[in-house]
Chains A and B, each alone.
Chain A
């Protein structure tokens, strides 16, 4: 597992791998890294996690649509990948990224299949294999904060069609072409509206963190998968300050 470097911005300490990543990136070469891992270099394994961890997180969350499960599969992905790399299973070391992406995706799909079988094969009628727990209090707070920000971002869109577009895309998951045709929007406009909404949301989030600082982060904690939001927000806030 990565050793999280620590960064202090406006007095807030938060686990944060970015500086580590930056340091690595300047000299990053996939084939060099693959070769080092093959020869058993433990530091190279850490570098692998530092460089690709964020992307693996995105893939696992996208495939599982479940943050908790994605967290569970994160280490397993790297364990598997390192094992294969040590065996020299990667034919084209330049394709290290694709190899890791494929490992994550396969692992997540396999996991789902296995879970499916286990549930159908061994479980009786009484089994409740999916946890029905309510979100914890910190997670709940963060969710509310974010919901309020999203409402503001969407409320500020002047064009009602744009508001409808975002809601139909995110909430009902209607396909983009269907929404575009129905609301008479070009695909370009569609992308632009989403892009701008994202920027606005991000800006508001950063402002919120800056305004409430430690209070906000200590209330919301570091729930799984949320690291990026905080370190983005904090890093950006750090940049804005001389």
Chain B
């Protein structure tokens, strides 16, 4: 593999993001494992990424809202196969959300379709990553009146964490930062993108820190915690 190619295709950053397919990833690994200059780039890129995330978690850098409209536009430009998978995942995220049949009220009856519902991707946290990953979520304006937008949280558990566990059943618990159980639901399955999605109606979250736990159902029919996600809800 040539450095020209690595540079031209942004392999360093894409490798760390986990978005290289096997055909690019394997030769790149075989190359950098023996290449001090690529290793250097990879290590500093890792470090910068961690630092930027820490800065956002610390509140010294403001995280920009991510843009679903852009996503959808971008989807249109893809080849049919990946587009199908991504559209399926996006639709699942935006529409097929049975979870809020849980303990809290559904969005107000008669509420029409919502456009451009923000999709918020949460990454699992583990041990010392916890506070570094306290992602900010901007609460919808007008939420007091029960109007405004819902938020869709996307928990990427599947494809990466448990690739061979197709059909496995999951549960989700939402806790306050103090550990109080606010809501839970079980009997959930991963969507096509290996994610669980959660629609939060406007007015559901108050400002504060929250923790989401994803549970897996074992053969003994008991739930065990698989992953945690932490976020801070703030007013825009």
**Residues in A lying within 8 Å of B, measured CB to CB:** 51-52, 54-56, 58-59, 61-62, 65-69, 95, 97-98, 100-102, 105, 109, 112-113, 116, 119-125, 127-136, 139-140, 143-144, 146-151, 153-154, 164, 166-179, 181-182, 187-188, 190-191, 194, 197-198, 201-202, 205, 228-229, 232
Is A122 a contact of B220 with CB atoms below 8 Å? yes
How many angstroms from the CA of A221 to the CA of B155 in the assembled complex? 33
Chain B residue with Cβ nearest A224: B128
Chain B interface: which size bin?
35 or more
Is A58 a contact of B223 with CB atoms below 8 Å? no
Given known contacts A58-B32, A58-B39, A173 and B121 CB-to-CB distance under 8 angstroms: yes
Is B127 a contact of A97 with CB atoms below 8 Å? no
Query: How close is B218's CB to chain A, nearest CB, in angstroms?
Result: 4
Question: Which chain B residues lie closer than 8 Å to A102 at the CB level?
Answer: 26
Question: Which chain A residues lie closer than 8 Å to B50 at the CB level?
Answer: 143, 146
Given known contacts A116-B226, A119-B225, A167 and B33 CB-to-CB distance under 8 angstroms: no
Identify which of B7, B54, B163 contacts A147 (C-beta below 8 A).
B54
B56 at the interface (CB under 8 A from A): yes
From 149 to 189 in chain B, residues with beta carbon under 8 angstroms from any chain A beta carbon are 161-165, 168
Among listed B67-75, B107-115, B199-207, interface-contacting one: B67-75
- Pairs across A and B, CB under 8 Å, 17 listed: A55-B32, A65-B123, A113-B164, A116-B161, A116-B226, A122-B224, A127-B225, A128-B225, A130-B226, A143-B54, A146-B54, A146-B55, A150-B52, A167-B56, A170-B53, A172-B63, A178-B74
Is A191 a contact of B224 with CB atoms below 8 Å? no
Identify which of A58, A131, A144, A154 contacts B46 (C-beta below 8 A).
A58
Number of A-B residue pairs having CB atoms within 8 Å of each other in the complex: 229
Given known contacts A55-B39, A170-B52, A97 and B33 CB-to-CB distance under 8 angstroms: yes
Chain A interface SS verdict (over half): helix
Question: Which chain A residues lie closer than 8 Å to B226 at the CB level?
Answer: 116, 119-120, 130
B192 at the interface (CB under 8 A from A): no
How many angstroms from the CA of A60 to the CA of B127 in the assembled complex? 17
Question: Which chain B residues lie closer than 8 Å to A182 at the CB level?
Answer: 67, 70, 73-74
B24 at the interface (CB under 8 A from A): no
Chain A residue with Cβ nearest B128: A135
Is B64 a contact of A190 with CB atoms below 8 Å? no
Is B128 a contact of A133 with CB atoms below 8 Å? yes
Identify which of B58, B61, B223 contacts A144 (C-beta below 8 A).
B58
Is A147 a contact of B128 with CB atoms below 8 Å? no
B13 at the interface (CB under 8 A from A): yes
Is A62 a contact of B48 with CB atoms below 8 Å? no
B228 at the interface (CB under 8 A from A): yes
Chain A residue with Cβ nearest B179: A132
From 2 to 48 in chain B, residues with beta carbon under 8 angstroms from any chain A beta carbon are 7-8, 10, 13-19, 26, 29-34, 39-48
Question: Which chain A residues lie closer than 8 Å to B73 at the CB level?
Answer: 181-182
Closest 5 interchain pairs by CB? Answer: A55-B33, A123-B224, A150-B51, A146-B51, A182-B70
Identify which of A66, A147, A191 contacts B126 (C-beta below 8 A).
A66
Is A229 a contact of B43 with CB atoms below 8 Å? yes
Identify which of B41, B48, B123, B219 contacts A173 (C-beta below 8 A).
B123
How many angstroms from the CA of A169 to the CA of B17 in the assembled complex? 9
Question: Which chain A residues lie closer than 8 Å to B31 at the CB level?
Answer: 97
Apart from the given pairs A125-B224, A176-B14, A178-B70, 6 other A-B contacts in the complex at a CB distance below 8 Å:
A58-B39, A68-B126, A147-B57, A148-B60, A154-B61, A173-B121
How many angstroms from the CA of A52 to the CA of B32 in the assembled complex? 10
How many angstroms from the CA of A164 to the CA of B61 in the assembled complex? 11
Question: Which chain A residues lie closer than 8 Å to B97 at the CB level?
Answer: none
B193 at the interface (CB under 8 A from A): no
Question: Which chain B residues lie closer than 8 Å to A151 at the CB level?
Answer: 55, 60-61
How many angstroms from the CA of A113 to the CA of B163 in the assembled complex? 8
Question: Which chain A residues lie closer than 8 Å to B135 at the CB level?
Answer: 171
Is A124 a contact of B39 with CB atoms below 8 Å? no
Query: How close is B56's CB to chain A, nearest CB, in angstroms?
Result: 5
